[in-house]
Structure 1
Amino acid sequence: MSAPNTKPKNTAAYTAQAAIAFGVSLVGTGIGIAYLPLDTWQRGFLAMSGLFLVTSCFTLAKVVRDQQESQSLLSRVDEARLEQLIAEHNPFRSVS
C-alpha cells in the first residue's frame, strides 16, 4: 500500500503574486537608485549591492528548500522501514 502524494502545491495566484512582487520591488529599487542625487560610482555600488542581495536571497531560499526536502526524504525512508518491520512481525511465531 503506497501513501498518496501529499506534497503541497502552490496555486497559480500565489505564484503570480510572488513573481509580480519580485518584479515591482526590483524595478522600484532600480528607479530609486537611478534618481538618487549621487555620483555614477555610488549608483553603481548600490546597484551591485542590490544585485548581490537578490542573488543571495535566491541561494538562501534554495538551501532552505533543499534541507527541507532531504529531511522529508529521510522521514519517508524511516517510515518505509518501520512499515516493513511491522509487516514482517508475527507475534504468534514460535521462538526456537
Structure 2
Amino acid sequence: MSYFRHHVFFCTNQRDDGRQACEQCGASAVRDHAKARVKALGLSGAGGVRINTAGCLDRCAEGPVLVIYPEAVWYTYVDTDDIDEIIDVHLREGRIVERLKI
C-alpha cells in the first residue's frame, strides 16, 4: 500500500521564453491554498493526501495543471473554487471532476 492515499502534483513551472507556463496563472498560490485546505480538513499526512510542487509537467499549454496519483487524473483549474471542488469531489469522495479533467 502507498504511504499516501493521494499524491497531488501542481505544476509551478515558469518560462522565460514567452510560452504559457502554469506559474503565470498563479499556480504556487493555488497550491498553497490546496495545501492549507487539505490540512484544515484533516486529510493530510500518512494514509491521506500529500500536496506537492512539481517542475514542468509538460502540459502548460492546457494549464494551469495538476495531476493526482495513483489515479493519474489530470486537471486544469481557473481559481481556488475549482481546487476546492477537486478536493471535495476527488480527494474526499473519490469521484473524478469531469468538467475540470484534461
TM-score past 0.5 threshold: no
Higher helix share: 1
RCO higher in structure (CA 8 A, sep ≥6): 2
Higher strand share: 2
- Structure 1 or 2, whichever has the larger Rg, is 1
TM-score, normalised on structure 2?
A: 0.25
